[in-house]
Chains A and B, each alone.
Chain A
């Protein structure tokens, strides 16, 4: 009795309230999205909104069970849980059924179940467990390797199911690692990599190469190399590029500008290295290495884009970056989604009055594109409210994480916040044309039992851990 009272007292009711509001809003928006005249009752279990209510009931049940389990259980069983999940991910590759091109579902009678959704909390638990080890040093090769193993195993298995969106979720753990001491440099590199990727696609490898050279020059200045020396290096580089360009023209070799630039950098690299070695400027060598690394990366971007990504993924990225525009083909979903949201205006068309969503102009509107219904029927006010509620929940989670005594709980909490953030950013970003079309659900909003339960489990495990925040978990 006493324990139960303390649990209820220690639970963070603000988070639970935010959760409840979001789930409720999600449910009525699903009702609006699939509303039809024949089935007007929001409780009609033959319709998605009726079913969602059943899923919500089940989610509450799951939440209560999670809260009644001892918090020690979660850290103790972190690894076994992940192993079970990995086995399920393997099994679904063999026994799963294909839905929308992804073999990621188990079918049990009329109920479908998506293990990828549940792999998230399992991986989060395992990461929390691993990183919270006593005397853990993140920059040791072994630590990085095992961390990578924990993250990449489920991600690769999910990728094999052809569910790119769910696999990409694992990339967000970089934020958790950063919180736990991963060098900010890595974050910067990741940012640069993303910028180079986009620039290479929009402009050209050559433009990016020039950009790299300029960044290199600025870096050299910042580490204390004299301008004169940088200027000499650039003069040499420009000279050799010019000579190569003329030779190329003269002989008709037909090499691209990018290749010419790479060759001249490599040619000049040797005397530079000698110079660096003689003058013992270690940082300059690092810059040079980075330049060469970036060039190789830029070179491989087009290769990755064309060889690794599937045509529909290429199209989606091209649409997003404005490289191609085909509002009736590859860009149809996003275009219709923008129309629906844009037509909502300041305060929306009103509940059940959305025309774009109601008449099915937007595909997948009760699942991946549920935010359109919000945008159209509730307008800017409603969509801003939903985003702010989500942000409040995430920031609340960070706040709660920081108050944990045990690092296991903290890391897990950051993991929950990061996973929620990734889903919101990609899902909403996609509906308003700021992210490529990647099919992942909007937490608590999108129709579907698996995703609702998965987010409930993620969140309530943390709430259970938080209720015991003063204990030290190992």
Chain B
């Protein structure tokens, strides 16, 4: 012992003091502070989304329309990225160094801890090579996704396309997270929840090199993905393909319906695009190009979101209402002296014999017949006023599905426009407006606007003699095949079945009435086609429209063909209708109509200026 033995307390005190500081620090790190526990989790867990295989889409005959193809997204977790051989990396995936730096920066902005997509949709060749070398690039991994594949390249508008979810989708439905795909239009959109299935999750332990070390908590947090359900559509893809060919280089739309069920057989808007264009990395570029095509608007689905004045085909409706309201009978004859004359007002008509009965008025599409009938419907004394008469007329019109959404299973359907009586009052600045003020509606012009889908539905009603099933595109869903029950309900029009026969007779004459019949070019050997042409006045060249159904006594197909700037109903719309009906009912085009088919296929209303309306 020496004099300094008390210093043991100082020295022991220093030791104890330092250990005490350590204990306080440990208390703070391990108990007070949560930050380190969270970091540890993000360090060592990797949550991998298990994407559900999206349901497949078939046509009515079981022909595959849409299937899936594997694609590989290269993912990045920025905080795990270490310095790596950039040159090697760039060569592997074929991008340059600046791009790499830019993408890493972008990913960091999204989150340092969570994975985000570094490069979308690598090719399988690229993936094969990359997979071998991935261990060299910590912080990167590959997530398998599926892309849509279209063996037929048709029906783009109907099928729709997938796109990445945006912030609005995510906000609306918590199911989606950044980078998910969602149906953005067409079937993919309306049947999104059926097709997408339910995505799953797998949580793995990963080590510092980002190698998977096993399942987290024995897979307690894992959820298996539930595959999407397959959908069988009502489309006949062969017919669709043929219709699209016929409509090439023309603007317009075709909708064909099986009137017995309301199933849509063909639905097209021309010009269209190849659905493959909206798949993969080229999508945004292609989208921009198509969206900027102002004159042709290929993204615009004319069959449902374009509304047109129906033109002469609307005379069929006025004939039916006239019969129902007792204004005319099948034998009512009305004179036409090259048009309809009322005081100083004249509505022209082309030259035909006079007077005409109902059938003939349809055959010759007489304007005078319908101007007079329409006015009488509105001005019938029992209604008290034109306005009331109009409201009654409108009730009949609405019962055919005009002026409202039909309620089909495709998105972005338009209502079209059948004005209220008050609209006319406002327009004419008096409640006592006259039927003459709106007489152009008699022949399907004026304030009317109708989508091609509604026109097709109208033909369906006529073919069925008084009712329709809501047009729809899906025939069966998944294994049990159930579809929305509203598509099985018969929608009755306000017209009694017996009044349809004379109108149908008239439509028969349009095709088979010999000289002066506007729909002759739609005639098919051995099949009774009923049709009606229309020529819709247009600021430029008139539109050509034709509605038809066949066979007359057992209708299997009802359709509308609307060719913008097609001049006359008989010039393009009627022959195209005839070809489609023949193709559908007979499977092929008979020899004597091959020339017509060739002419339709070759007709180009977009790239060459057609001769003016001089026929």
Binding site for B on A (CB under 8 A): 175, 178-181, 184, 328, 336, 338-346, 355-356, 358-361, 375-376, 379-380, 383-384, 387-388, 390-391, 394-395, 398, 401-402, 407, 414, 417-418, 421, 424-425, 428-429, 432-434
Contacts and interface: CB of A to CB of B under 8 A. Distances in A.
B7 A178 contact: yes
B205 A342 contact: no
A395 B16 contact: yes
Contacts of A358: 207, 213
Contacts of B21: 434
B40 A359 contact: no
B14 to A, nearest CB: 7
Interface in B1-52: 1-5, 7-8, 10-12, 14-16, 18-19, 21-23, 25-27, 29-31, 33, 35-37, 39-41, 43-44
B213 A359 contact: yes
B209 interface: yes
Contact of B12 (A376, A395, A407, A428): A395
B394 interface: no
A338 B79 CA distance: 16
Contact of B39 (A180, A343, A375, A429): A343
B206 interface: yes
The 9 A-B pairs with the shortest beta carbon distances in the complex, nearest first, are A342-B36, A359-B207, A343-B40, A355-B44, A342-B29, A380-B30, A360-B208, A339-B39, A391-B19
A407 B2 contact: yes
23 contacts: A180-B2, A180-B4, A184-B10, A339-B36, A341-B36, A343-B41, A346-B31, A358-B213, A359-B205, A359-B208, A360-B209, A375-B29, A376-B40, A383-B26, A384-B26, A387-B23, A391-B15, A391-B16, A398-B15, A417-B15, A418-B11, A432-B29, A433-B25
B12 A398 contact: yes
B30 A379 contact: yes
A181 B4 contact: yes
A355 B46 CA distance: 13
Given A339-B36, A360-B208, A379-B30, 6 more contacts: A181-B4, A343-B40, A358-B213, A361-B208, A384-B26, A434-B25
A345 B11 contact: no
A429 B41 CA distance: 24
A126 B297 CA distance: 95
Contacts of A414: 11
Contact of B22 (A179, A184, A395, A429): A429
B44 A384 contact: no
B30 A341 contact: yes
B26 A432 contact: yes
Contacts of A179: 4, 7-8, 11
Nearest to B36: A342
A70 B520 CA distance: 129
A343 B41 CA distance: 9
B489 to A, nearest CB: 59
Contacts of B213: 358-359
B40 A339 contact: yes
B36 A434 contact: no
Contacts of B15: 391, 394-395, 398, 417, 421
Contact of B30 (A181, A328, A346, A388): A346
Contact of A342 (B19, B40, B208): B40
A375 B27 CA distance: 11
Contacts of A340: 40
Contacts of A336: 43
Given A339-B36, A342-B33, A390 B206 contact: no
A384 to B, nearest CB: 6
B43 A361 contact: yes
Per DSSP, chain B at the interface is helix
B13 to A, nearest CB: 10
A384 B79 CA distance: 31
B377 to A, nearest CB: 82
Contacts of B35: 342
A398 B7 contact: no
A398 B40 CA distance: 39
A14 to B, nearest CB: 16
Given A359-B205, A360-B207, A380-B27, A343 B37 contact: yes
Interface in B89-126: none
A432 B8 contact: no
Contacts of B31: 345-346, 380
Contacts of A341: 26, 29-30, 36
Contacts of B37: 342-343, 345
A179 to B, nearest CB: 5
A345 B30 contact: yes
Nearest to A404: B1
Interface in B43-99: 43-44, 79, 82
Contact of A402 (B8, B16, B205): B8
Interface string B206-236: 1111000100000000000000000000000
A432 B36 CA distance: 12
B104 to A, nearest CB: 13
B8 A398 contact: yes
B40 A356 contact: yes
Contacts of A425: 18
Contacts of B208: 359-361
B111 to A, nearest CB: 15
B43 A356 contact: yes
A297 B135 CA distance: 50
A355 B37 CA distance: 11
Which of A338, A346, A355, A418: most chain B Cβ within 10 A? A355
Given A387-B19, A414-B11, A380 B40 contact: no
B366 to A, nearest CB: 85
A401 B1 CA distance: 10
B19 A390 contact: yes
B135 to A, nearest CB: 14
Contact of B11 (A356, A387, A398, A429): A398
Which of A359, A375, A379, A434: most chain B Cβ within 10 A? A359
Nearest to A360: B208
A388 B19 contact: yes
A394 B16 CA distance: 9
Contacts of A428: 22
Which of B25, B27, B40, B205: most chain A Cβ within 10 A? B40
B30 A375 contact: yes
A293 B10 CA distance: 27
Contacts of B16: 391, 395
A418 B15 CA distance: 9
Contact of A355 (B5, B29, B205): B205
A356 B44 contact: yes
A425 B17 CA distance: 11
B22 A434 contact: yes
A180 B5 CA distance: 8
B176 to A, nearest CB: 30
Contacts of A407: 2
Contacts of A339: 36, 39-40, 43
Which of A175, A339, A375: most chain B Cβ within 10 A? A339
A99 B22 CA distance: 30
Nearest to A432: B25
Contacts of B33: 342
B131 to A, nearest CB: 21
Contacts of B2: 180-181, 407
Contacts of A398: 8, 11-12, 15
A359 B22 contact: no
B44 A178 contact: no
A93 B41 CA distance: 44
A380 B11 contact: no
A180 B11 CA distance: 12
A184 B15 CA distance: 16
B608 to A, nearest CB: 65
Contact of B44 (A180, A342, A359, A395): A359
Interface string B236-276: 00000000000000000000000000000000000000000
